[in-house]
Structure 1
Amino acid sequence: MFSNDSIASFNELETSLYNYISQNMDKVAYMRIRELADETHVSTATILRFCRKLNCDGFSEFKVKLKMYLEEDKRTYIKSAHHSIVEFFERTIKGDLDEKINEAAIQIQNAENVIFIGIGSSGILAEYGARYFSSLGKFSLYIKDPHFPIHSKFRNNSVTIALSVSGENPFTVNHLNLLKQEGSNIISITNNKLSTIAKISNINIPYYVTEEYFEEANITTQVPVVYIIESIARQIYRLNH
């Protein structure tokens, strides 16, 4: 409902108006503009200017969008963990997941250096992946800073493993572009095989689960990512032994 850019554009009066609305959305959705002005001690002109900054022609359009937002929020349904896992295996068992995992394992086995990257929850799993690979004998690094200095000997014959649910995170895309320009082969694990990250990868392993959001947070299950990471690591171990 309120983007970071729009909030940043609010002046002091508009910020106080935003604070009131965000805490009283159900009430504001049915108020008249004069009632809101009296409650927040601002002028109707301030309210109309506030609405225009949210791309609304007036207060009536703002209330329509607010009601739609509230209805959408009420329909939020969080699936059970069991449902998400069953969905993953039902969709991937018919595909080429095992072949993709084996292909990735062979490429990683032959690489001298392995780098994991990701941001947010994907970054947490990237760090876990680097540790899990290292535990099974394939030393790996997790790098979250795109400007982290990487010596040329680590870039030679290297594989970068990128994790991203959407496959569109600008931070990860930019990071991958830098590493690809340095000659690193890219393996990505994403939820969408048509995403930007998937397209710039040498190998993409999609896991096909329905993305879920709660308010502004992406709560899509990450269990498939853990399964894929561990499967690749174990396959590398088998190839080495």
Structure 2
Amino acid sequence: MFPSDVIASFNELETSLYDYICKNGEKVIYMRIRDLADETHVSTSTILRFCRKINCEGFSEFKVKLKMYLDENKDRKVKSSQYAVTEFFERTLNGNLDAAIREAASLIVESDNLIFIGSGSSGILAEYGARYFSSLGKFSMYVKDPYMPIHANFLENCTTIALSVNGENTFTISHIDQLKQKGSKIISITNNKHCTIGKMSDVNISYYVTEEWFQHSNITTQVPVVYILEETAREIQKLSQESRQI
């Protein structure tokens, strides 16, 4: 609604007007221009100049845009994740998730080194995954910095597990690209396979739950990711045990 470069261009009167609107938006959308002028102690011409600066032809258009902005940014009630989780586990029983997990586990078992990457909440789970895999006998490391020096020998027979909800995170995409160029195989865990990270991967495990947003933050449940990580780690441990018995 108010770009930073436009805010920077406001003079003293326009800044006081902007401050009032930010604090009283729900009230302003029902005011006449004269009412706002009286409340803020500015002239109607100042208000009209303010409107033009934010690409509105007049005060009426400004009120319409302000109302739309306020409606879009109203606090939404956070839904229970129970439905999404139940839906995921129902699909798990009837789908091919187990096959994808086995394929990923087989690839990891043959690898000498394992790296986890991700950012934001996916980065937190990537760090958890590295610890969980290590606890089950497959030493892993979480690499946060895409420019962290990694010896070429470490990447010679390496697999990277990349975590991302929408699969379009530019930081993770850049990280994957660099690791692929150095010879690492890529396993991705994303919400759907038709995404950039999914297409860059040798194996993609997708979980398909409804994405949920709250105040511009992605709060999609991560329970499926924890399940996939733990099941994959257990499958690796099982395959490793079987290979030792042969």
Give the TM bin, normalised by the shorter chain.
0.7 to 0.9
In the alignment, is residue 173 of structure 1 matched against residue 170 of structure 2? no
Q: Provide the secondary structure at the position in 2 that maps to 1:134.
A: helix
Opposite residue 155 of structure 2, the aligned amino acid is R
Quote the Cα distance in structure 2 between the aligned partners of 1:16 and 1:170. 38
C-alpha distance in 2 between matches for 1:93 and 1:190: 19
State the TM-score, normalized to the length of structure 2: 0.85
How many residues align? The count is 235
Cα 1:21–1:178 change in 2 (3 A) is farther
* Other-structure match for 2:111: 111
Question: How far is the alpha carbon of 1:90 from its aligned partner?
Answer: 2.5
C-alpha contact 2:51 2:62 (8 A) present in aligned 1: no
C-alpha distance in 2 between matches for 1:70 and 1:19: 15
Structure 1 residues 45, 68: CA separation in 2 closer, same or farther (over 3 Å shift)?
A: closer
Which string of whole-angstrom CA distances, capped at 9 and with x for unpartnered residues, describes residues 118-177 of structure 1?
Answer: 111111001101111111111111111111111101111111111111111111111111
Aligned position for 1:182: 182
Counterpart of 1:128?
128
Change (3 A) 1:90 1:72: farther
User: Of residues 48, 51, 69 in structure 2, which corresponds to 1:48?
Assistant: 51
Counterpart residue identity of residue 22, structure 1: C
Match of 1:7 among 4, 14, 18: 4
Considering only CA atoms, is the larger Rg found in Structure 1 or Structure 2?
Answer: 2
Deviation at 1:18, TM superposition (A): 4.8
Matches within 5 A, 1:1-241: 6-11=3-8, 13=10, 17-36=17-36, 39-40=39-40, 43-52=46-55, 56=56, 58-74=58-74, 76-241=76-241
Distance 1:16-1:104 versus aligned 2 partners, 3 A rule: farther
- Is residue 118–residue 144 contact of structure 2 (8 Å, CA) maintained in 1? yes
SS in 1 for 2:228: helix
Q: TM-score scaled by structure 1?
A: 0.87
Q: 57-66 or 95-104, which moves further after superposition?
A: 57-66
In structure 2, the residue corresponding to 1:160 is in which secondary structure?
A: strand
Alpha-carbon distance between aligned partners in 1 of 2:143 and 2:34, rounded to the nearest angstrom: 53
List gaps (5 residues or longer) in structure 1.
Answer: none
After superposition, the Cα gap between the structure-2 partners of 1:137 and 1:206, relative to the gap in structure 1 and judged at 3 Å, is same
Gaps of 5+ in 2: 242-246
Which range is displaced more, 173-182 or 10-19? 10-19
Identity percentage of aligned residues = 62
Alpha-carbon separation, structure 2, partners of 1:89 and 1:64: 44
CA offsets 1:196-228 (integer angstroms, 9 cap, x no match): 111111111111110111111111000000000
In the alignment, the residues of structure 1 paired with residue 16 and residue 114 of structure 2 have an alpha-carbon distance, to the nearest angstrom, of 49
CA distances 1:12-44 after superposition (whole Å, capped 9, x unpaired): 636665544333331232234454455456622
Contact 2:113 2:157 in 1 (8 A): yes
What is the RMSD of the two structures over their aligned residues, measured on CA atoms? 2.3
